[in-house]
């Protein structure tokens, strides 16, 4: 099956800093989603981005499908950005089946 690797595994930021999270995947995909898991376990949809670039406030994401990676940018980080960020991908006829990466645990310090 498809392999998904996220880096870095852990990230500590000072409030106000910018950061980039990376997601590498091993095969072509027709589904790629970024999530933020809050301390209560809820997965918040950040982006549905199998290709291209999107922005939503201080967050933006870019997927380069031909090179099999996606990047999530956090600008002007806030303490509420803390949590675990997951990238998940799906491919082929089973594009609706998501394979999750290991996550990046982000801590934003005031």
Partner 1 sequence: GAVVSQHPSWVICKSGTSVKIECRSLDFQATTMFWYRQFPKQSLMLMATSNEGSKATYEQGVEKDKFLINHASLTLSTLTVTSAHPEDSSFYICSARGTSGRGSYEQFFGPGTRLTVL
Pick 15 or 27: Cβ nearer partner 1:
27
DSSP 98: -
Applying CB under 8 A, among 82, 90, 106, 108 the residue interacting with partner 1 is 90
DSSP 103: -
- Per the listing, tokens 């910018």 go with 18
Where residue 68 falls (left for φ over 0; alpha for ψ -120 to 50; beta otherwise) is left
Angstrom distance (rounded) from CA 83 to CA 3: 23
Site string for partner 1, 46-85 (x = CB under 8 A): --x-x-----------------------------------
Assess 26 for contact with partner 1 (CB under 8 A): no
Q: Which residues contribute to the site for partner 1 (CB under 8 A)?
A: 30-31, 33, 35, 40-43, 45, 48, 50, 86, 88, 90, 95-103
């Amino acid at each position: 099956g498809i392999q998904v690797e996220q880096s870095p595994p852990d990230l500590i930021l000072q409030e106000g800093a910018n950061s980039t999270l990376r997601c590498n995947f091993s095969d072509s995909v027709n589904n790629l989603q970024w999530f933020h898991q809050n301390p209560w376990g809820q997965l918040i949809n950040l982006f549905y981005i199998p290709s291209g670039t999107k922005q939503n406030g201080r967050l933006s994401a870019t997927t380069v499908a031909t090179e099999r990676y996606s990047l999530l940018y956090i600008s002007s980080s806030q303490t509420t950005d803390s949590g675990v960020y997951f990238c998940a991908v799906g491919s082929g006829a089973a594009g609706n089946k998501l394979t999750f990466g290991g996550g990046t645990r982000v801590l934003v310090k005031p």
